[in-house]
Amino acid sequence: MRVFCGRANPTTGSMEWLEEDEHYDYNQEIARSSYADMLHDKDRNIKYYQGIRAAVSRVKDRGQKALVLDIGTGTGLLSMMAVTAGADFCYAIEVFKPMADAAVKIVEKNGFSDKIKVINKHSTEVTVGPDGDMPCRANILITELFDTELIGEGALPSYEHAHSHLVQENCEAVPHRATVYAQLVESRRMWSWNKLFPIRVQTSRGEQVIIPPLELERCPGAPSVYDIQLNQVLPTDFTVLSDVLPMFSVDFSKQVSSSAACYSRQFEPLASGRAQVVLSWWDIEMDPEGKIKCTMAPFWAQSDPKELQWRDHWMQCVYFLPQEEPVIQGSALCLVAHHDDYCVWYSLQRTSPEKNGSIHQGRPVCDCQAHLLWNRPRFGEINDQDRTDQYIQALRTVLKSDSVCLCVSDGSLLSMLAHHLGAEQVFTIESSAASHRLMKKIFKANHLEDKINIIEKRPELLTSADLEGKKPNPFDALVLLLALVARSLSSWGSRSSPLACCHGTTCSSGTCGPPWTSTWGLAPWCCPRLPRCMLWSWSSGWVSVKAVPSSQDLWRIRSPCGDCEGFDVHIMDDMIKRALDFKESKEAEPHPLWEYPCHSLSEPWQILTFDFRQPVPPQPVRAEGSIELRRPGRSHGVVLWMEYHLTQDSTVSTGLLKPAENKEDCCWNPHCKQAVYFFSSTLDPRAPLGGSRTVSYAVEFHPDTGDITMDFTLSDALDDGH
């Protein structure tokens, strides 16, 4: 059986349906899962094991059989811990069939098949009774249903149903309790991920300022959380306005409600400033006494930052208030946490709120279009004045008095830069209705609605008639194509906004590829459907793909686990490896590396160059060779990115922003995701370091599709005696 999967054509950006194997979706899900990262989380594993032992002991001390319900068992690890701790029987629920099948094999391999029953169902479909999945209700409830936001994976509805139908009243629960914490801060950097700032343009007529429409300033923003590695945000990037406030707790041993609710905490601001952002995280207590605790707190909120556990499956949350509000040091305020069954959001109250639950407000909803079109990194990129100045410098170099500029946009402000810098005519292509509406609002706010012409159609459908404007014959002038300037790699997807594509456009497939496969990454140069009846002058001279081998914590998300807390989980490792090897060629994965400190093990090297002043090559372009790793450290993979050489003197990098010195953390572009190619052969941290280490590569660009295929191999010629 074959299935069809939607794929955004990297050249045209249009959706195409490709025939895939029937197990394609399963393999994609497994390959991109966080199972390995969770099992590498030593702190999590130890705390769960301790909590499970204590819960089983409490039940046994009451003279009862220990009957365990494990919801979301995954590999079956927690169920095996429970049986090892003395549980009489365990019912392990796993809805994802490939994982459930793997759990059955893992349980069998570890010798627990007689005491663990894996049930491949959603927990709400599990039946209890003589003919049911479970003969009776359990008296111990074990779960790991949490995401960075705690409740985003449906933990509350699952617990609510379990207490009503699957477990005994006042059962033991591991974890026993969760508490959500929040801290109010002022942060221009983080606020730039949510609002459009004024953009300054120096022209021959003086400084021009592009201002956001009032509708954008008043918009409450997107309702989704922005989950990041908050430990990588510098303390100098924000001002703390409140203490860490415990906002609400959930007791998992009692009946849980998934109904909407809110919780307020009164506080006195620690400093005067503008309340903009709420930083939030949670901890879980594995026992009723709260002696066994696992916390997601960032380093500044931990008693011993040296014990900080690196993890990627749970991070911290950034929430944006609907509007920034001035606060005065010592003047009491109330921070309010709202939640429904899946989401959390925050508001600030100046008066003493009523009893919890009576001031609940609905989730904020974007009504300006910008938060639907631009994801968080894209907001940050547009607000980056240094990046804007690079484009201004490049445009000054190529613009002439009679230039006619065509900006392939979908939400880019470069058409406004071209106008302010003196272009005679400016056209901008907004292929989506959302970007069309947004740009009309921005143009109107800046009195440019009659100065910039919007074309609402897909770029490959453009005709010469679309450029007819003030000049009788537009081809008398040079058409300056701003596509690459406008769309040089942006945020390349987002954790919390999967529909936000690399440049702020929407992608119906919900997936995003590497920089070279992103919409319009290389399209103006190689797309055969673009009209050739016009005289193009490329504002971007050439683009290069660069790479550097690196050593990083991020390898844990793909590293095999082998044994975990004494249990053999090699079967899961093999399953993930098969999923990663499902396609003929391995792919690089998108990751925002500014959140993951890493070291470069060599100088960056240039793999491919695309010269837009030359015709598209008729055949694939291949590059191969090797690079020696001259710096100490274990290489876990290769990082790739693109550099856009706008002019001879202006370059925009989507990767490294400055040379990476030996033993220093790499400085990555924070507005983009970089491509990470993991070495499958060296993910095992126990592998020995060698003497002469090289990375061999073979990379090929396919002009007919715009794709780049690649293969990197790490070789380690061991020294004698090793």
Query: So which residues are the catalytic ones?
Result: 144, 153
Rounded distance between C-alpha atoms, residue 252 and residue 285, angstroms: 10
On whether the CB atoms of residues 435 and 409 are closer than 8 A, the answer is yes
Rounded distance between C-alpha atoms, residue 302 and residue 43, angstroms: 14
- Residue ranges in 523-594 assigned as alpha helix (H): 523-526, 570-580
Question: Please, what is the angle between helix 97-109 and helix 570-580, to 10°?
Answer: 150
Rounded distance between C-alpha atoms, residue 385 and residue 590, angstroms: 25
Rounded distance between C-alpha atoms, residue 722 and residue 715, angstroms: 15
Angle at 136 between CA 131 and CA 137, to 5 degrees: 135
Residue count of the chain: 722
Rounded distance between C-alpha atoms, residue 241 and residue 258, angstroms: 31
On whether the CB atoms of residues 94 and 65 are closer than 8 A, the answer is no
Angle at 567 between CA 564 and CA 570, to 5 degrees: 75
On whether the CB atoms of residues 523 and 543 are closer than 8 A, the answer is no
Rounded distance between C-alpha atoms, residue 536 and residue 408, angstroms: 13
On whether the CB atoms of residues 292 and 175 are closer than 8 A, the answer is no
Bond before 474 cis per omega within 30 degrees? no
* 261-267: strand order across its sheet: 261-267, 333-339, 344-349
- Residue ranges in 203-314 assigned as alpha helix (H): 214-218
- The set of residues, in sequence order, having a beta carbon less than 8 Å from that of 309 and lying 6+ positions away, is 41, 42, 43, 44
Closest CA to 565 of 72, 68, 78, 91: 78
On whether the CB atoms of residues 592 and 62 are closer than 8 A, the answer is no
For the chain, report the end-to-end CA distance as a whole number of angstroms: 49
Task: Return the H-helix or E-strand segment holding 418.
Answer: helix 414-420
On whether the CB atoms of residues 477 and 468 are closer than 8 A, the answer is no
Rounded distance between C-alpha atoms, residue 318 and residue 182, angstroms: 10
Give the CA radius of gyration of the chain. 28
The Cβ-side half-sphere exposure at 253, using a 13 Å CA radius, reads: 17
> Which amino acid is present at 611?
D
* 536-538: strand order across its sheet: 452-455, 425-429, 404-408, 479-481, 536-538
Residue 130: Cβ within 10 Å count: 6
Rounded distance between C-alpha atoms, residue 376 and residue 436, angstroms: 20
Rounded distance between C-alpha atoms, residue 14 and residue 24, angstroms: 21
